[in-house]
Amino acid sequence: MTFSTTDGPPDRIVIFRQSALGDVIMTQPLVDQIHQQWPEVKIIWLASPGVMPLIRGMQRPGLEIWPELKPRRWSDCYGLGKRLESKERTWMLCLQSSLRSNLTYPFIKAEKKIGWDSRRGKNFQTWVTHEKVPFREEHLLDGFLSFLPIIGLEAGLPMWSYQHKSEDLQQVEQWLGESGDWLAVNPSASKEERNWPLERMAKVIKSLRKDGVRVVLTGGPDEQEVQRAKELEALANPDLNLCGKTKLETLMTLLSKVTALLSPDTGPVHMARAVGTPVVGLYAVATSRLTGPHGKLEYCVDRWEEGLRDLLGKDPFKVDWHQRVHHPQAMLLIQADEVEKQCRRVIEKVGGT
């Protein structure tokens, strides 16, 4: 079902997508396409404070960004509803389906509330929305864009345009120095089960460095991420270890200047995709067709189907599209030789800058 727009578009659209990092990056094309087709409509994006610097780097006219912590008590939900009160015609896109967000939606007054279908709308989200996005086996980003036809707009190809700060450009230039092939390696995923063994990652790095490829380690300030990067540094002796030493916006600029990114399934994959940098993504817990660098999977190593068959005893053609291989051996299905091969492919094709 598509909402009738005979009364014209709404005065404003509220988008609720607070986190995680990769999901926020993938929300930006949705925001842009609404603005392109309805430039007169005000857009309010409710997002976590921690991702605000990145959203500001992609900010467009007519977009208001509200930093909102995840509600912890009923008064938080009520307070947000009061702050959003308006006589303007409001539609709401409920992109987040966590329990906290679903408990918040009833407090927000909107003429129309659009959410996920019953398979993707977790934690009883379908109870608090008016219309649902039909289920399809599609990439997460395409799922976000599927909200557009529901409100009467066309879904186009996703595009990003990030505004780098001059100080970030200068800092990255100091780090990387003269032109050449740089491989950024992000050792840690947001969940331990998606991490690839450091010994295998070190093997790839050492082999590439012998042929003149320079390597920079990246990652967030989380203690476990920093420790994991230190362990990899001891094993592989990369040129730089910047894990925990960059702001999000500086990392975005860094990823725009390297030749490629090697990473398991985590937020920086989508950051690299947004700035046009190829990704050698490592996938076994979830399929890259669902969570990989959108439309650019040619360098990914994907062992999801093998994991389903060999570790879970399931037929990949009969399981739910969102099925995860929650098994401690999943990432061990990815071999160092095949990852190195993909790294060399991308460096040969787009390197030499």
Q: Which pLDDT tens digit goes with each residue over 303-328?
A: 999 999 999 999 999 999 899 999 99
Within 10 angstroms of residue 263's Cβ, the number of other Cβ atoms is 28
pLDDT in the model for residue 186: 98
- Going by C-alpha positions, the residue among 213, 245, 160, 249 that lies closest to residue 340 is 213
| Same domain as 295, residue 228 | yes
Per-residue DSSP letter, 44: E
Residue 27 located in a structural domain: yes
Residue 337: half-sphere exposure toward Cβ, Cα within 13 Å: 0
Residue 19: what pLDDT? Answer: 81
Answer yes or no: is 50 within a domain.
Answer: yes
Whether pLDDT at 5 is above 60: no
Average pLDDT of span 198-223:
97
DSSP line for 163-185: ---HHHHHHHHHHH-SSS-EEEE
For the stretch 143-156, pLDDT in tens is 999 999 999 999 99
- Of the residues 150, 183, 206, the one at which a domain ends: 150
Q: What is the DSSP string of 17-35?
A: ----HHHHHHHHHHHHHHH
211 domain residue, yes or no: yes
The pLDDT assigned to 72 comes to 86
Angle at 130 between CA 127 and CA 132, to 5 degrees: 85
155 in a domain, yes or no? Answer: no
Report the pLDDT averaged over residues 288-316.
97
Do both 178 and 316 map to the same domain?
yes
pLDDT value for 353: 47
What average pLDDT does the segment 65-72 reach?
Answer: 86
Q: Is residue 277 part of a domain?
A: yes
- Same domain for 321 and 186? yes
Here the tokens at position 346 are 């991308």
Whether residue 161 is contained in a domain is answered as no
Q: Are 61 and 203 part of one and the same domain?
A: no
pLDDT of residue 52: 87
Using an 8 Å Cβ cutoff, are 184 and 218 in contact? yes
Residue 157 forms part of a structural domain? no
Residue 234 phi/psi, 5° resolution? -65, -35
Q: What integer pLDDT is reported at residue 1 of this predicted model?
A: 46
| % of the chain surpassing 90 pLDDT | 83
pLDDT of the residue at 6: 54
pLDDT digits (tens, 9 = 90+) for 42-66: 999 999 888 888 888 877 777 888 8
DSSP 311: T
What does the mean pLDDT of the chain come to?
93
> Which residue, 90, 122, 150, sits at the end of a domain?
150
- Does residue 326 sit in the same domain as residue 177? yes
Q: Which of 166-180, 233-247, 272-286, 288-302 has the lowest mean pLDDT?
A: 166-180
H/E run at residue 240: strand 240-241
Tokens of 119: 């398979």
Are 171 and 305 in a shared domain?
A: yes
Q: Are residues 204 and 99 in the same domain?
A: no
Structural domain including 49 reads 12-150
Is 87 found in the same domain as 39?
yes
Q: Residue 94 is part of a domain; what is its CATH number?
A: 3.40.50.2000
8 Å CB contact between 342 and 301: yes
Q: Position of tokens 């409710």?
A: 46
Sheet holding 42-47, edge to edge: 63-67, 42-47, 12-16, 90-94, 112-116, 131-133
Is the domain of 131 the same as that of 173?
Answer: no
Task: Over range 290-315, report the average pLDDT.
Answer: 97
Task: Look up the pTM and report it.
Answer: 0.94
Tell me, yes or no, whether 7 lies in a domain. no
Q: Number of folded domains in the chain?
A: 2
Residue with tokens 């800092």: 171
Strand spans (E) along 84-130: 90-94, 112-116
Q: Which H or E element spans position 291?
A: helix 288-291
Same structural domain, 170 and 58: no
Which helix (H) or strand (E) covers residue 264, if one does? Answer: strand 260-264
187 and 325 inside one domain: yes
Q: How far apart are the C-alpha atoms of 11 and 31, rounded to whole Å?
A: 15
